[in-house]
Amino acid sequence: MENFISVVIPNRNGSATIGKCLESVFSSRYKRFEVIVVDDCSDDDSVDIIKRFPCKLIQLKRHSGASRARNVGAENSSGDILFFIDADCILREDTLSIVHKTFSECSSDTIIGGTYTKVPFDKGFFSTFQSVFVNYSETKKTDNPDYIATHAMAIDVHTFRDSGGFREDFLPILEDVEFSHRLRKMGYKLHMNPEILVQHIFNYNLIKSLRNGFRKSKYWTMYSIKNRDLFVDSGTASLELKVNVVSYFLSLLFIAFWIYSLKGVFLYPLPIIYAFNIFVNRKLIKAFYDTKGLGFACLSLLYYLMVYPLAVGIGAIAGVIAYLFSPELRKLIRVNDRTYTSSCETTDNPSIRG
């Protein structure tokens, strides 16, 4: 018998994307599902768009963050499986069918993940670069990956409720990483199926791409210092990216020595550094090539080697500084707790539309 799937979508000012997201969900060839959208006090016309679709709409009374929105959606679900996606994700017609099939082949104590398509909804360079990078990074390891991301996470409803849900008193991002680590410590398994795909709407330009790299690096560094896994190969916080960032700043250091001393000997290590960096990142470079050909791969390589690591590196430095000198942020990073109790209030009553 087919599982009943509850698709849970948090929304915060997502008027530009939530309509496309819901259209894709309701175009699914899989029929046994419900859709629960939890609006986190949007001040755009998101709610009016959501009301056009036959989904359960829950409006939070105060802005509380994506973790709370997902927890509230799960508490008001009726399905056997919870499938978490974001309001800027587009499902393919077979996504829910693959979720059902994968879940049927795994035990109920397994959290199942998917990832982004290589080509995003908006096909500009910076959006495609990011989508390929995420797809490659999150699918390198299918059995027992380091985390399952909430842009495509399927979990047994009882497992989720027993876990206590996502932390609501955590960093602004990475709640899915903390959730994955916590459940693995509780004895649950993680499994990535690269066939479970959602198409992301990035709308990235250069500034948005660099800002994203900075922000994620900052908070991931804080979390990794506390979790003592700073050098672990962890999804988008990949070993390749870390080598790339170290290589970039090491190259800058040698160039600075050369400028200061005018001694050519300081330039000799540069070819070795770049050759090693390219070797370590060869599979990612191939993913760029396989997605959109040689021109895109060359442009992506230049951006990845020469520009992107600057934002990621500065973000990492900002993360170290924030961890050392911001007690308020540091208190939010609680790791190695085996249980967590959600602080969701049942007064956030759902209003059902459609």
Residues 322 and 251 placed together within one structural domain of the fold:
yes
The Cα 322–Cα 75 span in angstroms is: 34
For residue 107, with 0-12 CB atoms within 10 Å meaning exposed, 13-18 middle and 19 or more buried, which class applies?
A: exposed
Nearest CA-CA partner of 50 in 33, 64, 36: 36
Sequence-separated (6 or more) residues with CB below 8 Å from residue 304: 129, 244, 281, 284
Contact 158, 6 (CB under 8 A): no
pTM over 0.85? The answer is yes
Q: Quick one: residue 123, left, alpha or beta (phi over 0 = left, psi -120 to 50 = alpha)? A: alpha
For residues 154, 158, 163, 165, the Cα torsion angle rounded to the nearest 10 degrees is 60
Alpha helices for the chain (secondary structure H): 18-25, 46-50, 66-75, 95-105, 125-139, 157-163, 175-185, 206-227, 239-261, 269-280, 282-306, 308-325, 327-332
Q: Domain span at residue 252?
A: 239-332
* Residue 228 belongs to some domain of the structure: no
Structural domains of the chain, count: 2
Across the beta sheet with 33-39, what order do the strands follow? 89-91, 189-200, 110-116, 153-156, 81-84, 5-11, 33-39, 56-59, 350-352
User: Is there a single domain that holds both residue 197 and residue 257?
Assistant: no
What is the residue-level pLDDT of the chain in tens, covering all 354 positions? 788 999 999 999 999 999 999 999 999 999 999 999 999 999 999 999 999 999 999 999 999 999 999 999 999 999 999 999 999 999 999 999 999 999 999 888 999 999 999 999 998 999 999 999 999 999 999 999 999 999 999 999 999 999 999 999 888 899 999 999 999 999 999 999 999 999 999 999 999 999 999 999 999 999 999 888 888 889 899 999 999 999 999 999 999 999 999 888 999 999 999 999 999 999 999 999 999 999 999 999 999 999 999 999 999 999 999 999 877 766 677 655 544 445 444 444 544 444
Which of the listed residues 204, 229, 253 is the one where a domain comes to its end? 204
Q: Which phi and psi angles does 153 have, rounded to 5°?
A: -125, 125
Whether residue 218 contacts residue 138, with contact meaning beta carbons closer than 8 Å, is answered with no
Position 125 in a domain: yes
Q: Are residues 296 and 174 in the same domain?
A: no
SS3 205: coil
Do 184 and 126 have their domain in common? Answer: yes
Rounded CA-CA distance 95/134 in Å is 18
Claim to verify: residue 257 and residue 160 sit in the same structural domain:
no
Please tell me the distance from the alpha carbon of residue 260 to that of residue 275, in angstroms, as a whole number: 25
